[in-house]
Structure 1
Amino acid sequence: MYEPNVVGDWQECDGHPGLRVRVHRLEQAEPPRGRDDAAEGLTYFRLRVTVENRGGRCFGVHLEDGQIDVRIGPDGESAFVDWRNSQFIEGYDVYPLRRATAVLYAAGPEAALAQVDVQIQLRVDDEWTDRRLWTGGLGLHEEAVGAAAPCAGGQGGLAHQVSNFLKDQAEPGAAG
């Protein structure tokens, strides 16, 4: 079964060894060149899409408006994407051990921004990668979760629930 990535997760690009992508830094932010009139009454947010090359050769990466889809709220309504203020990766050569980042500004009703889904389809060396989905929301933080890290959101938080699930699965005799 296909499961979406959480905002902040890296995803390897199949067929392109060492190339990976992630959606991260989902946060409320005003665009640098002012609000678009079409976004009147909406809350702006910004997200970043980073492509990293950990492989041994250079990849030509292309990520622009038609390759990013942003959906908000429980019904998956389309967010307003401010193309004028966004910065894309257009025909950029990502050399080994280097990164390229796109910055996207979007807006939507504040009540719907607790759930944001971002779908990305990169073009690498004139080939399309598989579509990948990241899910997150404004007000949720990308924090490191490890044995010594406190769980985000406390006792009932998502990180705490995932941690408990993994502990239950690791116990002898756990259903699986």
Structure 2
Amino acid sequence: MYEPNVVGDWQEYDDHAGLRVRVHRLEAAEPPRGRDDAAAGLTYFCLRVTVENRGARHYGIHLEDGQLDVRLGPDGEGAFIDWRNSQFIEGFDVYPLRRATAVLFAAGPEVALSQVDVQVQLRVDEEWTERCLWAGGIGVLESTAAASSAPAGPGSLAHQVSAFLKDQTEPGGTAA
């Protein structure tokens, strides 16, 4: 069964020796040149797509609009992509031991940002690569929940993490 990459994971390409890509730094962020009027009422976020060449030859890389698809929430609805604020990779030669990064600004309903799926299809030396998927989420909901005055219950994730860390630091715990 095919499993998507987790945001931050590298995906290597079999057809292009040494070439790999990853989606990373998925975070809530305001766009640098101001919000688009079409995104009124939506929460902005940013992500980066980095292409790295660990091979022996250079590759001509294209990562433009239409090669990235961002879906939000459990129903996989399309995010609003702010093309004006985003930076793409358009016809750049990535030499050995070098990287190129695209920065994408998008927006969606805050309640859907805990589940973000990003699909990337590079064009390398005028050939299309296979599509790769990354799954992740933005901690917008966790930060707003933590800021509320309601205490975390014993079944909450925060309580489970705290109990685990406490167990690890106590004498006789399993920590090294």
Q: Distance in 2 between matches of 1:133 and 1:83?
A: 20
Runs of 4+, deviation exceeding 3 Å:
153-157
CA RMSD across the alignment: 1.5
8 A Cα contact 1:14 1:129, kept in partner: no
Counterpart of 1:80 in structure 2 is 80
Counterpart of 1:102 in structure 2 is 102
**Structure 2 portions without partners, runs of 5+:** 141-156, 165-176
Q: Distance in 2 between matches of 1:75 and 1:56?
A: 42
Counterpart of 1:44 in structure 2 is 44
Aligned with 1:99: secondary structure?
strand
Counterpart of 1:125 in structure 2 is 125
Quick one: which amino acid aligns to residue 90 of structure 2? Answer: E
Aligned length: 146
Counterpart of 1:9 in structure 2 is 9
**Structure 1 portions without partners, runs of 5+:** 141-152, 161-176
Counterpart of 1:69 in structure 2 is 69
Q: Summarize deviations over 1:115-160 as a string: whole Å, max 9, x none.
A: 00000000000010000000000019xxxxxxxxxxxx66757xx9
Output the TM-score relative to the length of structure 1. Answer: 0.80
Output the TM-score relative to the length of structure 2. Answer: 0.80
Q: Distance in 2 between matches of 1:88 and 1:57?
A: 22
Quick one: which amino acid aligns to residue 82 of structure 2? Answer: D
Aligned with 2:38: secondary structure?
helix
Aligned with 1:51: secondary structure?
strand
Counterpart of 2:113 in structure 1 is 113
Larger radius of gyration between Structure 1 and Structure 2: 2
Counterpart of 1:139 in structure 2 is 139
Quick one: which amino acid aligns to residue 102 of structure 1? Answer: A
